[in-house]
Structure 1
Amino acid sequence: MSDSTVHAIAGAGGGIISMALTYPLITISSRLQVQKDKSSNEAYQSGLDAVKKIIAKEGISGLYSGLDSALFGISLTNYCYYYFYEFTKGIINKAHMSTIESMSAGAVAGAATVLITNPIWVINTRISTRNINARSMGTLETAAQMIKEGGFRSFWQGVMPALVLVANPIIQYTVFEKFKARIAKSRSLSSFDFFLLGAISKLAATGITYPYIVVKSRMQLKQSDDAKERYTSIMDGFRKIIKYEGFSGLYKGISSKIVQSILTASFLFMAQASLVVYVARLLVNLGLRAKNTQKRI
């Protein structure tokens, strides 16, 4: 198997580990992002308030609502991203890519990943943000309901802001690669270096792209018949959020999202860097990869 496949499998494993460790923060940030009215008694006033209310009304399991679809989604997302990213790097065929080349590799990988995995994240958003009074439904039942109500096209709701958000991993991986290359010139990178670089790169990416994340999350929900609540495009989403909620509406849930994103990226980069060696060794032992394969890992 190619280096791209090795990185992809390791990325999928790293994604599962990081997602499992940080999922409650994802639930909290998702619910805060889609919440449009904070005046009701059931509304979440902050991340901590969300935790208290979710546990009080849904139990601890409420913090893990939609975890099964999220784990499947992150494994497929990371597999696709790492595969296409490493594949594109292989075509460029340079040990150290320029900033433009790194961003180009990230753009190709990000766009391919979004188009393949968007249905999974639409389902996950619907499950994790479902009204607490609504009947609990699993992944397959939620998918069936979406098809019944909106047809197969409902699986690609929010795909345009998701494609715009390809800028997030482009920024993330470009920052990561640049700092990694700089450190590698003087010494070998440790697991803590990968953890720290993951945090720094994700902080930069999330801080810049967060308003698009809010719009994407809302567009992935079932769209209301109320024109005020329905977003017909990215710019329409921005316009209505600013009009009815102010600029602060574009940053709802950002504190918990940044914490979650940083931790997820840190655990991901640390786990992926460790797993890639073991995956390559396992594939060799299984006879699926040649022992003398030239590696870039």
Structure 2
Amino acid sequence: MSDNVAHALAGAGGGIISMAVTYPLLTVGTRLQVQRNNKDEAAYTGNLDALRKILSQEGITGLFSGLESAVFGAAVTNGVYYYFFEAVKAAFERASKRKSMSTVESMLSGAIAGSMTCIITNPIWVVNTRLTVKQKRQRAVANGDSESSSLKESTPSTLQAFTDIIKEDGVLSLWQGLIPALILVINPIIQYTAFEQLKNRIERVRKLGSLDFFLLGAISKLCATGVTYPYVLIKSRMQLKQSKNENERYTSLVDGLRKVIAQEGIAGLYKGIESKLVQSMLTASLLFMSKEALFTYTVKLLLLIGARKSLASAV
């Protein structure tokens, strides 16, 4: 079995850990991204206000709406990404007979791996986005009105949300937001190119430790998210059930950008960026750190169960 599988399994494990730890920040950021009416009484005025309102109205579980699909999505996304990235990386290294990739090769590897990941995992993130922004309506207080009490809704399961989307909007709706998602392949390209090049420079001087991987993950993700955030926002909104209102429906990435700027100003393109930056940096840092640690154990496990012939070539 090739190292690609070990990298994929380690990446999936790292994705699960990083997503579970940082998910509340993702919830806050996503809800701010899809919020269009800032004047509504229930609107979030910022990250801290969103956090406070979610906790007061929905409890701690509100911060973890859609966690099940997100953890599954993170595992699949990172597993698929690392499998293709390492496969392309190995091909480049065999062709060039070098132990490290050039900047262009890093970018090509990221583009191929990112594109395959987007196409395969987009349905998972459509479901997750809709679950994350679904807010539970509250019971009327004090008067015990049974009619008002019936307004209480529970968050649907991942499977239920998946089947509801297909039933109501059709199978192709699972790939809503795919175009901006494919454009956002530039995010991991920037992230992994920055990571690989910084890592290569440091490795020429000394061996990297867990803290190095944590810091390199944070720096590379900061660069990537800062550049691509407006596309992240449009993708999140396009993954929601599209409104029949012409002003609220985005027919394309350009249409979405145009309407956000017209209705909410340039600042509207950066709603929730603070929590997204923190969440993305922490996620990337934990992912890179845990993935590198898990890779060694994954190789040993594959060797133990007889899925690998030799450990020497992988560690």
2:3 equivalent in structure 1? 3
Which of the pair has more CA radius of gyration? Answer: 2
- What is aligned with 1:68? 68
Q: Which residue pairs with 2:206 in the alignment? A: 187
> In the alignment, which residue of structure 2 is the partner of 1:111?
115
CA shift at 1:96, angstroms?
1.3
Give the Å deviation of 1:132.
3.0
Matched, 1:237 2:256: yes
Say if 2:45 is the partner of 1:45: yes
Q: CA deviation at 1:294?
A: 2.1
1:177 aligns to what? 196
Corresponding residue for residue 99 of structure 2: 95
Letter in 2 for 1:212: Y
CA distance in 1, matches of 2:297, 2:12: 13
Residues 292 and 269 (structure 1), Cα distance of their counterparts in 2 relative to 1, 3 Å cut: closer
What is the correspondence of 1:1-297 to structure 2 with a 5 Å cutoff?
Answer: 1-93=1-93, 94-133=98-137, 135-292=154-311, 294-295=313-314
Offset at 1:165? 0.3
Amino acid at match of 2:103: T
Shift of 1:149: 1.0
User: Post-superposition shift, 1:257?
Assistant: 0.3
Equivalent residues of 2:303, 2:311 under 8 A apart = no
TM superposition shift of 1:186:
0.6
Q: Is the 8 A contact 2:226 2:277 kept in 1?
A: yes
Question: CA offset at residue 168 of structure 1?
Answer: 0.2
Per-residue displacement from partner, 1:239-266 (whole Å, max 9, x unpaired)? 0000000000100000000000000000
Which AA in structure 1 matches 2:89?
K
Indicate the larger mover: 125-134 or 12-21: 125-134
Amino acid at match of 1:204: C
* Identity between Structure 1 and Structure 2 (%): 56
Gaps of 5+ in 2: 138-152
* CA deviation profile, 1:11-61 (whole Å, cap 9, x unmatched): 000010001110000000000000001111111111111111001111000
User: Root-mean-square deviation (CA), in Å?
Assistant: 0.9
- The count of aligned residue pairs is 296
Aligned partners of 2:6, 2:275: CA distance in 1, in Å? 32
Distance (Å, rounded) in 1 between the aligned partners of 2:64 and 2:287: 19
Residues 252-293 of structure 1, C-alpha deviation per residue, up to 9 Å, x if partnerless? 000000000000000000000111001001110111111255
Code of the aligned partner of 2:23: Y
Query: Match for 1:177: what amino acid?
Result: E
CA deviation vs aligned residue, 1:136-177 (integer Å, no higher than 9, x gap): 211111111111111100100000000000000000000000
